Structures are given as C-alpha cells and as structure tokens.
C-alpha cells in the first residue's frame, strides 16, 4: 500500500493543551494521498472516536484520480488536544476544516471539491455545506454522508456514551483490537487482517512505555455529559435546517442494521433538501468502513461519474 504524507495546519480559535495563557489556536494533522497538485480534492472526515487513517483502503482506491485529504480531527490521532473540553464540538471542527481547505487550496488550487463524512464527519459536512457564504475554495460538488443524518437515535447515542472517553490500557495491538471489536462489531464483517489494519492507527504508546492506549483525548466525551432530550430536539431542528440548504449532489450510505440512522430518517433525507440517493449494505450497522470492495466501489463510482 502506498503511504500517505502527513501535514499540519494551524487553526484559529480554541487553544491547545500546552499553549501559554495568551496563546490561542491549535494544530490539526492531516494525511494526503495522491498527486499533491491534483485540482480534484476529496475531503474524508472520520467519526467521533476515530482518526484519518480509517480511510486508507478507500483513499488508495481514489488516489489515482483525485487528491485525498484525511484530517485527524482535533483531539484525535496526530492533532493537538484542546484545553477546554467543551470546545470539542461541531463549530470548532467546521472552522478547522475551512482552515484546512484554505491551506490545501493555497498549496495547489482546488477546482473540484467533494466531501465524504462518516458519522461525526458527516455532521461537520452538513454544518459546512448547509451554511451559506462560508469561504470554501469552490462549492462542494458531491457529498457522501456515511450512516448519519439530522435525526440521531437516542439509544445509539447512549450506547456510544458508555464507552466514549475510556481509552484503556493494552499490552499489545491484538489486545487493543479485540477490545475495539467488542464495541465496534456493528462495523460489519472484516477479516482479522482487515480489522488489525484498521486498529493499528487507533493506538499510541501509554506514557512512553510498551503498553498502548487509544489515540484520542478522553475529554472528547465531555460534551456528551450535557446531552438531554431537549438539547437533542434543538440539535435535530438545526441539523435539518442545515441539511435542507445543501445543494451538493448527495449520496447517503447506510448500514442496514444501523442503530443511529433510522430507515425513516434515511427516507426523509431522500425527499427533502438535496434529496440524497440511498445505498444500504446488509450485515452492517453503524457504520460502514469502506474496506469491503463493494463499499469502495459505490463511493468511487459516485465521485467519478
């Protein structure tokens, strides 16, 4: 597999851990695949507790014809952690994506821009694409929303809250992979080799020793603690408003057994706003990983046509 190159962008706003009191801003890492001068850019944004190397298989398939950018959202992977845990929310992430796209565009002009967002990455995409007047290099042409929509099932959010923030201690990669499978089997069938490949970028050394822990800042769980039925209803209304303002051609990918994106929400997304075309994968819940050939082909065909 061809390896991506690691880059960084300085983002304004929330201060990073380690900054002096008067300093603001933080650094976000991102992985770049393909020709760095290719004017067709696909931005792939990962889910809540994941990181940009989740897209390795998909990015390798796309990189012969597009430039693929896969950020580690702040608090994850190689990116900074934030001083204020409550800054781990969509407005921060959306602003960071604008800073990233400005830098990418400055390095080599972007003429065609597509967005793929898995779960949280899709919510960030809805915030950016659904807000008129943001300083994008060019309007987003095509949007892939991976198992996410404006209405989120409360039971699924509660399930996620039971493990989010518990980064653990593991004696080796296989032990970590087994623990992650216990909470992520809804991703659907993976061979042991495929799952281990997905997990190798999900861990880092714990306190510089041989033991491992998950890659992300446990404080990303802080915003979940303020979750309530009232806040969920307010958030849902705002997300539908954003979704209805999206003009990009939209593909909605859904795990047929997803507990986060209901069939009713998926159907509604096909009838309003950008009228997303729905593709479902059987035997998969939340969320497809784009490791399986059939999942990769659906995205590749959508972006190439």
CA distances from 153 to 187, 262, 263, 289, 293 (A): 17, 7, 11, 20, 28
pLDDT band at 1 (very low <50, low <70, confident <90, very high): low
- Measured CA to CA, the distance from residue 274 to residue 142 in angstroms comes to 10
Ranges of each domain in the chain: 5-161+230-304, 166-215
- Measured CA to CA, the distance from residue 112 to residue 66 in angstroms comes to 9
As given in the structure block, the two tokens for residue 43 are: 């931005």
The pLDDT value recorded for residue 187 is: 96
pTM of the entire predicted model: 0.97
Q: Give CA torsion, residues 41, 285, 74, 7, to 10 deg.
A: -40
Among 236, 238, 230, 226, smallest CA distance to 261 is for 236
Q: For residue range 107-151, list pLDDT tens digits in order.
A: 999 999 999 999 999 999 999 999 999 999 999 999 999 999 999
Indicate if the pLDDT at residue 22 is higher than 80: no
Q: For residue range 139-162, list pLDDT tens digits in order.
A: 999 999 999 999 999 889 989 999
Indicate if the pLDDT at residue 29 is higher than 70: yes
Overall fold of domain 5-161+230-304 = Rossmann fold (3.40.50)
């Amino acid at each position: 597999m061809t390896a991506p190159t690691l880059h960084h962008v300085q983002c304004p706003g929330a201060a990073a851990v380690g900054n002096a009191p008067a300093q603001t801003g933080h650094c976000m890492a991102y992985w770049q695949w393909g020709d760095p001068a290719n004017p067709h850019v696909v931005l792939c944004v990962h889910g809540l507790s994941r990181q940009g190397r989740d897209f390795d298989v998909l990015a390798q398939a796309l990189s012969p014809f597009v430039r693929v950018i896969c950020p580690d959202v702040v608090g994850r992977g190689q990116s900074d952690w934030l001083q204020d845990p409550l800054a781990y929310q969509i407005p921060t992430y959306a602003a960071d994506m604008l800073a990233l796209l400005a830098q990418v565009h400055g390095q080599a002009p972007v003429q065609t821009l597509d967005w793929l967002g898995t779960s949280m990455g899709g919510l960030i995409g809805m915030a950016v694409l659904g807000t008129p007047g943001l300083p994008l290099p060019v309007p987003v042409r095509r949007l892939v929303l991976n198992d996410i929509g404006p209405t989120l099932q409360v039971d699924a959010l509660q399930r996620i809250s039971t493990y989010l923030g518990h980064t653990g201690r593991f004696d080796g990669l296989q032990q970590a992979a087994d623990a992650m499978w216990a909470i992520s089997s809804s991703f659907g069938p993976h061979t042991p080799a495929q799952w281990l490949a997905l997990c190798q970028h999900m861990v880092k050394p714990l306190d510089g020793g041989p033991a491992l822990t998950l890659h992300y800042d446990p404080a990303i769980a802080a915003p979940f603690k303020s979750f309530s039925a009232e806040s969920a209803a307010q958030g849902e209304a705002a997300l539908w408003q954003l979704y209805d303002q999206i003009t990009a051609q939209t593909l909605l990918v859904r795990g047929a057994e997803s507990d986060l994106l209901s069939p009713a929400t998926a159907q509604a997304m096909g009838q309003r706003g950008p009228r997303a075309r729905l593709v479902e994968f059987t035997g998969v819940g939340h969320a497809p990983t784009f490791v399986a050939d059939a999942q990769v082909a659906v995205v590749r065909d959508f972006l190439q046509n």
